Structure 1
């Protein structure tokens, strides 16, 4: 590529960015046929939403004409649509995506290969209506978060965990499934790589995540479905280790998410004070009661469970050590989510996207409703509830004055047909339109 060609490309990019910023700075008004109020979990009828400098400045039952906002104001006609707050997925993995080759790619691909793939996954996620995500595992996602925040690539607002914490041989131990010679040449992983043995190392691991720039801490309290190991549900942290993680995380302002399938691992995590349980396959009434007592959130990830149970029946999709776990555990999560909702456990929306293809995150809504959750509460779980679990209620989770102008719209009434959420027609993130009808 010639110097002149590169200069021309950079010039075009600069013009595009300037135009986008100018459009965002000019007032915008959206005329919505319906508005979903995430606080009351109901539709409020037609409203106008006014956006200035990336924030919502008016929410009006009366139609607000663009001409009243200045000569540079623009109008967006969504009169045939239902407008909702930008959706929030509390459990994704933007650094990877399922495939039969996933277990061998790590021996061929470099970190930059994964990072570049993640750029496409991020844009796909945003255009599916998810303007904010919590990424629960992957160092490259911190760099992706930074690039998105700097306007270099397109994607959702990311709250990143960085490297998940594991015990030796546990679900997030990066040396699982490789031969001894290779493992020894790489060195046995320790707290800096997120693998801990005892409370002291647990504290070191949290501090390392702070050093790397993580936003949240994720630990694997039990075995996992897709890890190269026999058990998918055995407890893998002692309670004093989890407590050390939680106490240290609080010093740094972190919330703690605990991957957990088995009951005993969940019990230890909830008792030690984690903020959320992810997956929760073998929850029962005892765990429900403890979560209600502690105020612990549940992030079900039904989509991942259904997907892996389906793929486990395909010979060769997963290694043989994984297939029995995937078929047995994955199929149970949907029913668990239904029981948890009926038991009054607080639920925030999360999918484990990456375990299934990115962009189909909204399938979770359909599966939640099938599990017995009313459609309005399923939508609330991905808006107000998710923002509360993030600790970002002041800026995210509802269409209110002062909050980020994160808006999505679907053609029709999602309370009558929740499957419409899989066909989002309009996406705005912080006042910038990234997808239009």
Structure 2
């Protein structure tokens, strides 16, 4: 936390490196939409890419020894999750914490996430995300562009009328998306928890308010109900079958599998979680048993024609800043092609957030959300661990210089 506060002080003094016009000299650009651009410069004006070619303008930054790609777009994270000073998962129902403390932990996680190469993060979701989102948007804190659900709807919400009211409450409070729990945790089998009627109301009411819906659903039945209700994205889906994946593709429902970082982080920090907020030895055993199945489901999903796969991590306490480990797992263990993994974190995720006209691709007219890696992820996907340069909306937050 002390290191983070020092970084914040430096940021406030410098307000990051920002020039009205600058040039990034590059050797290799992965454009985020499947294209590769070689030996071209990127000219950025007032935070927007205005030219890709041979010209130079303004301050020149030489990135020719690095691989350029769009900043990662994470569709499922939890920036508010953190470990307390005793190195245990913070449980708001058991441990008191001031709003200021909560805000500092969330801001620290946002900073780590940005430094790890993620320039947009959808958080699902905590009320404190709103203030964090707005502070980052105003430029007073370093962090990824944030979208948030502010909370979630589930079986605890109640009958359809109560669910409708909850959707409107979140919308009125400024939510960017509605998060819905349609199944139990994988730690207890992932069984359905909402009826078709409840999901129909949740997703239709969200559409009336102009909001997307993302649905926590592990098994086929809960996911099927969400698809038929017209929801936007299925989260996790660790126990899905081919029929359900094909139904998702048919309806244009996005798939946000979390097969790497979330499991690895839980297992690495087991003692930080165990005994808190429902985390038990039996639950961890359930997760271990689910990992091979989740990877097999992902491999199956790759073969389903027209299924749109996006980049979510479900990053919780201990995982922030390591977000790209999810893509590394998808390639190494899941068999995804590196270029497809990168597109899923670029154009694919941007499209699922209705932001593909602004972010996710390195092209003229797009926001200058750009990162640079030491190494070529098309040859070795672990190059995603070596983020050396981070720019968001034309501001440099991490640099070789």
Q: What is the TM-score of this pair, normalised by structure 1? A: 0.83
Instruction: Quote the Cα distance in structure 1 between the aligned partners of 2:287 and 2:83.
Output: 13
Query: Which gives a bigger RCO, structure 1 or 2 (Cα 8 Å, sep 6+)?
Result: 2
2:328 alignment partner in structure 1: 366
Offset of residue 324 of structure 1? 3.2
With over 3 angstroms needed to count, the CA separation of the structure-2 counterparts of 1:124 and 1:311, relative to structure 1, is: closer
SS at match of 2:223: helix
2:381 alignment partner in structure 1: 418
Gaps of 5+ in 1: 1-10, 67-72, 169-195
Gaps of 5+ in 2: 1-8
1:49 alignment partner in structure 2: 42
Offset of residue 262 of structure 1? 1.6
Query: Which is greater in Rg?
Result: 1
State which of 56, 63, 66 in structure 2 corresponds to 1:65.
56
- Deviations along 1:68-116, whole A, 9 cap, x unmatched? xxxxx20000011111111101110000036872265641132512222
With over 3 angstroms needed to count, the CA separation of the structure-2 counterparts of 1:111 and 1:297, relative to structure 1, is: farther
Q: What is the TM-score of this pair, normalised by structure 2? A: 0.90
SS at match of 1:347: coil
1:381 aligns with 2:344: yes
Offset of residue 234 of structure 1? 0.9
Offset of residue 315 of structure 1? 10
Question: What is the correspondence of 1:172-183 to structure 2 with a 5 Å cutoff?
Answer: none
Offset of residue 336 of structure 1? 1.5
Instruction: Quote the Cα distance in structure 2 between the aligned partners of 1:120 and 1:87.
Output: 18
Instruction: Quote the Cα distance in structure 1 between the aligned partners of 2:373 and 2:26.
Output: 10
Offset of residue 209 of structure 1? 0.4
Question: What is the correspondence of 1:388-407 to structure 2 with a 5 Å cutoff?
Answer: 388-407=351-370
Instruction: Quote the Cα distance in structure 2 between the aligned partners of 1:432 and 1:308.
Output: 30
Instruction: Quote the Cα distance in structure 2 between the aligned partners of 1:238 and 1:380.
Output: 34
1:320 aligns with 2:273: no
Q: How many pairs align?
A: 383
Instruction: Quote the Cα distance in structure 2 between the aligned partners of 1:366 and 1:380.
Output: 13
1:107 alignment partner in structure 2: 94
Instruction: Quote the Cα distance in structure 2 between the aligned partners of 1:54 and 1:109.
Output: 41
- Deviations along 1:283-341, whole A, 9 cap, x unmatched? 11110121011011101112244326735976973423532332233443222212111
State which of 231, 245, 259 in structure 2 corresponds to 1:302.
259
With over 3 angstroms needed to count, the CA separation of the structure-2 counterparts of 1:238 and 1:355, relative to structure 1, is: farther
With over 3 angstroms needed to count, the CA separation of the structure-2 counterparts of 1:212 and 1:325, relative to structure 1, is: farther
**Deviating more after overlay: 93-102 vs 336-345:** 93-102
With over 3 angstroms needed to count, the CA separation of the structure-2 counterparts of 1:114 and 1:316, relative to structure 1, is: closer
Instruction: Quote the Cα distance in structure 2 between the aligned partners of 1:306 and 1:404.
Output: 33
2:112 alignment partner in structure 1: 124
- Deviations along 1:16-41, whole A, 9 cap, x unmatched? 34xx5xx63421000011011222x1
RMSD: 2.2
Instruction: Quote the Cα distance in structure 2 between the aligned partners of 1:78 and 1:162.
Output: 38
Offset of residue 199 of structure 1? 1.3
With over 3 angstroms needed to count, the CA separation of the structure-2 counterparts of 1:359 and 1:87, relative to structure 1, is: same
